[in-house]
Amino acid sequence: MEHLEQHERMEMWEKIEQALVNEQIDQFRAEFLELHPYDQAKIFEEQEEQIRFLIYSYLSPEEMADVIEQVDEDLVTDFITEMVPGFAAKILEHMSTDDAVDLLNELDKNKVASFLTIMDKKSSAEIKELLHYEEKTAGSIMTTEYVVITTKMTVKDAMRHLRKEAPDAETIYYIYVVDSFKKLVGVISLRDLIIAEGDWLIQDVMSDRVVSVPVGEDQEDIAKMMRDYDFLALPVIDFQEHLLGIITVDDIMDVMEEEASDDYSKLAGISDVESSGSTALASAKKRLPWLILLLYLGMITASVIQRFQDSLEEVAVLAIFIPVIGGMAGNTGTQALAVAVRSISTGESEKRGKVSLIWNETKTGLLTGVTCGVLITLTVMLWQQNIYLGLLVGVAIMATLLVATVSGAIIPLIMHRLNIDPAVASGPFITTLNDLISTVIYFGLATTFLSYLV
């Protein structure tokens, strides 16, 4: 069944709720389990605690695992901790190993230990193995639920093995091949396996040109690789090329969403992603470091203006254009920053070259600067009836937009070269920095040509 719209879910839930509160278990299960797991999760998220506990009692841990895997990550930890621990542990057993690990990473260590103690030994061991890997690496997002065959198997034996293992595997579109030492040596697609003759050896039909990633590889680099190669899955190996797990395309979609949210938060000057449900204290803690830094950077701008106080006293009208020039500098700098960060994150800067990116932004800054400079010159001339003031503001705008655009492109590239996340060159940082630059340019020009303005 396709995903339901909000109003369709509400209508469907009214029928399901009636069966639920009337303890018509069979009818509830028939209606609820007919829905797609995503819609089950959306309905489940909207319920009060009393209703959720009824759902827990009517569904098996395996059925509940499908729901929990689709629940919003900001809510799932609250739900799993409110359950009876034994029931929650059974749910974790039936979840995909990588999803269970992601959930447990968000919990208190004591709760994690409690769940792992209750779970069966096999599931607990698989989860413990993945919990040891550093966050945001291949090891932390891979799954150990995959099908592996050996080079010495025949196609017939491999098909028999595949039928046996497929129900528990996350994907079977690619089957990975290992040698007698458990080293990854090849891959064969399900299609190629089906059309091969039954008595052929796997080593004769597999492809030995297999692309893999080391267990410590950064998840963002893996996402780029899967995008470039259009893979549905990617094997993960250790330094001796032993196959440890696979990363599937659905895991990478989650990674891309996480990385995009992370970059967005940094561009907004927030140290970590905030959810709408974050407390005021938690949000303030995340925002204050950047705001305090920008506050003192703003004080430098104020001290620059103070140094040009004499110019302001002689030509007071200069003050009214400070917000215009500062605002334009911040806007164009942020635009260039967004282009540069995107080029770095997608790998486009490596393909086109960093010099090409900077040169393109320089030309853009020059074109926008000249255009805006001419427009503001004419506007100020007509408004203030002062040709020199108009030329001053116009030249200041032109120079400011050029410098701000170039700095917005160069700063992220420098940070990337220094192995610092370029998204840290956030919008507020670039805006405040360009405020300082624009102020120096504007008042420097004003002081130089002050005699024409008085």
- Residue 325 sits in a domain of what CATH number? 1.10.357.20
pLDDT for 426 beyond 70: no
Amino acid at 57: S
Establish if 442 belongs to a structural domain: yes
Establish if 243 belongs to a structural domain: yes
Q: State how many domains the chain has.
A: 3
Domain endpoint, select from 80, 102, 136? 136
Q: Are residues 104 and 234 in the same domain?
A: no
Sort 35 into a burial class: Cβ within 10 Å, 0-12 / 13-18 / 19+.
Answer: buried
Cα dihedral value 362, 366, 372, 375, nearest 10? -170
Worst-scoring range by mean pLDDT, 49-53, 223-227, 232-236, 429-433?
429-433
Domain endpoint, select from 198, 232, 248? 248
Yes or no: say if 289 and 271 are a contact pair by the CB < 8 Å rule: yes
pLDDT (tens digit per residue) in 357-366: 889 889 999 9
Q: Are residues 309 and 372 in the same domain?
A: yes
Worst-scoring range by mean pLDDT, 54-58, 293-297, 379-383, 440-444?
293-297
The pLDDT, as a whole number, for residue 279 is 63
Tokens 């405020």 belong to residue: 435
Establish if 1 belongs to a structural domain: no
Establish if 260 belongs to a structural domain: no
Q: Which of the pair, 142 or 429, is modelled with greater confidence?
A: 142
Which tokens sit at 136? Answer: 């945001």
Q: Which of the pair, 284 or 143, is modelled with greater confidence?
A: 143
pLDDT (tens digit per residue) in 22-55: 878 888 888 888 888 888 898 888 888 888 998 9
Which tokens sit at 166? Answer: 């497929």
Q: Are residues 296 and 229 in the same domain?
A: no
- CB burial of 360-388 (b: ≥16 within 10 Å; e: otherwise) equals ebbebbeebbeebbeebbeebbeeeebeb
Establish if 187 belongs to a structural domain: yes
Q: Which of the pair, 137 or 314, is modelled with greater confidence?
A: 137
The pLDDT, as a whole number, for residue 1 is 46
Distance CA(438)–CA(432), nearest Å, equals: 10
Q: Are residues 288 and 428 in the same domain?
A: yes
- CATH at 232: 3.10.580.10
Q: Are residues 224 and 334 in the same domain?
A: no
| Residue 51 lies in domain | 6-136
| DSSP-assigned states of every residue in 17-69 | HHHHHTT-HHHHHHHHHHS-HHHHHHHHHTS-HHHHHHHHHHS-HHHHHHHHT
Q: Are residues 220 and 168 in the same domain?
A: yes
Q: Are residues 152 and 132 in the same domain?
A: no
Q: Are residues 239 and 314 in the same domain?
A: no
Which tokens sit at 20? Answer: 């639920």
Note the helical H segments in 230-321: 249-267, 280-307, 309-314
Establish if 263 belongs to a structural domain: no
- CATH at 10: 1.25.60.10
What is the rounded average pLDDT of the residues 318-347?
A: 81
Distance CA(243)–CA(251), nearest Å, equals: 18
Q: Are residues 422 and 366 in the same domain?
A: yes
Q: Which of the pair, 429 or 253, is modelled with greater confidence?
A: 253
The pLDDT, as a whole number, for residue 366 is 92
Establish if 350 belongs to a structural domain: yes
Q: Which residues, listed in sequence order, are joined to residue 150 by a DSSP beta bridge?
A: 178
Q: Are residues 124 and 99 in the same domain?
A: yes
Establish if 297 belongs to a structural domain: yes
Q: Are residues 165 and 213 in the same domain?
A: yes
Distance CA(377)–CA(441), nearest Å, equals: 16
Distance CA(354)–CA(314), nearest Å, equals: 45
Q: Are residues 288 and 208 in the same domain?
A: no
| DSSP-assigned states of every residue in 427-443 | HHHHHHHHHHHHHHHHH
Share above pLDDT 70 across residues of the chain, in percent, rounded to a whole number: 87
DSSP structure class, residue 206: S
Domain endpoint, select from 105, 136, 167? 136
The pLDDT, as a whole number, for residue 451 is 76
Amino acid at 316: A
